[in-house]
Structure 1
């Protein structure tokens, strides 16, 4: 067998053994959410209606409070989600060169800190479990200098102790080297978390599309993350709907069950954004709602189908 086949064979054996010996740990299904910022300029009500029709109960909200007068209003957002039977899983933090924790421009770092504080307030008000943090700007693949790690850690450390009082988990997301300069793997994220050294920033937000570029094996990376993994973004190998590419969805599901990810406060969140080195452009775009409807329905249906095939 090839190396990845040997790894997969071990995974299957471990999964089947656990399913047989501890069936109670497989009773609950994984909590499916959806990251909505890729829907661009459409209204939250349109998004909520789509997710409700797809049978979802959770949503990862776009962290769009880029200034004091910008972003979702708490009361309005609470009403829209309640009207559509949705609960906030967490908030997707968005870090560009304008609000870059690793920037060599102090004003950009200050924007990042102010942004984190606004999103912490919003996430707490919405009852979200986590705030996703990217240590360096997405869409910037060229280093400023050799000291980005130290600057990013020092900046985040200055607000890290504000996460626990808000009841929000700080979740570091590893991103492929084509899109950012820092933290590309689970191991990188663990090193970054240890350097920050705060109980408020102890978790990881995975993303299988980035993992296929940066990790030697996605399932093994999930197993390595273990309890630190609070959420994982999903897309197929082409960064489109689940089932439309060659991603080994079964291996991902098996690994998630083995780390006990089918628990309250832990989520699986599709985020199929399409290929590109700077996906943040999707924040300001408009896509045919029919295409988005199919993207959501196809992904959720395929994921649940594979989940039931493994657990039946």
Structure 2
């Protein structure tokens, strides 16, 4: 099992500092947000190596209201621009030696559909992801479709949606993930979700019901762990909790964000190793 944590959750803390904190918390892997134009990606890889970290993958950049990053946008021109932007993100994954790019089919923060029905938005997203899937195959990168709860995105919200989406795409380089925070909102049965997606799950995101570190909320992680063990999951777990505070789309919760996150990181890793090692 690979244990990783998402750098995005440390807000505006410099990456070098994030890498140092994550490494000192006991992690060997980290996920980085795919902010294509904000980083020198060769330098990012070097900084990770200096902290004895490997970059497992990148978190796709698709934040609303930037319509040019929205794979399910009503505008064909915007979708085409989003496709090209995601192809650049795939190139960044390759530079840092990662295995995957996390993809939310409709922009994060866009909780409403733009078509006459949800089917319109679904089909736009399918078309867009198909257009980047061959690039992913060329670079030997896996696209990971992430279901996000209905209050944060509008197309793929739960395990049923995720299963239907990856089946519609039908491409060997397109898989999915489950995120315990979003599952707590959207899933009827936490264990059953894993059994349903057993052939498709490549990554699991971990946070508690309040999006704090594992063990600080009320999720029944016994069901999560049981489901993962039943499908023989032994791939990548990414801790993606956040410091407490408003606005789920903004990880910066004040001056103590980084220190809170380091505490959550340490506590979460202890629990993960207790369950899986």
Instruction: Check conservation: 1:41, 1:286, Cα contact below 8 A.
Output: no
User: Does residue 169 in structure 1 map to residue 153 in structure 2?
Assistant: no
2:232 is matched with 260
Which residue of the partner structure matches residue 273 of structure 1?
A: 242
- For residue 5 of structure 2, give the secondary structure of its aligned residue in structure 1: coil
Q: What does 1:1-312 align with in structure 2 at a 5 Å threshold?
A: 30-65=1-36, 70-97=37-64, 98=66, 99-145=69-115, 146=117, 147-201=120-174, 203-262=175-234, 266-273=235-242, 279-282=248-251, 287-307=256-276
Q: TM-score, with normalisation over the residues of structure 2?
A: 0.91
Structure 2, unpaired ranges of 5+? none
In structure 1, what is the Cα distance between the partners aligned to 2:140 and 2:254? 32
Mark the runs of 5 or more structure 1 residues left unpaired by the alignment: 1-29
Q: In structure 1, the residue corresponding to 2:31 is in which secondary structure?
A: strand
Q: What is the RMSD of the two structures over their aligned residues, measured on CA atoms?
A: 2.0
Which structure: larger Rg? 1
- Matches of 2:102 and 2:144, distance apart in 1: 5
Deviation readout 1:8-43 (Å, 9 max, x if unpaired): xxxxxxxxxxxxxxxxxxxxxx32110111212111
Regions of 4+ moved over 4 Å:
274-278, 283-287
Tell me the distance in 1 between the aligned counterparts of 2:243 and 2:112.
22
Higher percent of residues as helix: 1
Say if 1:283 and 1:117 are closer, same or farther in 2 by CA, change over 3 A.
farther
Distance change (3 Å), C-alpha of 1:182 and 1:288: closer
CA distance in 1, matches of 2:200, 2:171: 14
Distance 1:166 1:286, change over 3 A: farther
Relative distance call for 1:275 and 1:293 in structure 2 (3 A) is closer
Cα offset for 1:136?
0.7
Tell me the SS of whatever aligns to 2:74: coil
**Pairs aligned (count):** 271
Shift of 1:123: 0.6
Question: What is the TM-score of this pair, normalised by structure 1?
Answer: 0.81
Q: What is the Cα deviation at residue 119 of structure 1? A: 1.1
Alpha-carbon distance, 1:298 to partner:
1.7
SS of residue in 2 equivalent to 1:269: strand
Q: Which moved more, 1:140-149 or 1:286-295?
A: 286-295
CA distance in 1, matches of 2:147, 2:2: 21
Aligned-pair CA distance for 1:176: 0.9
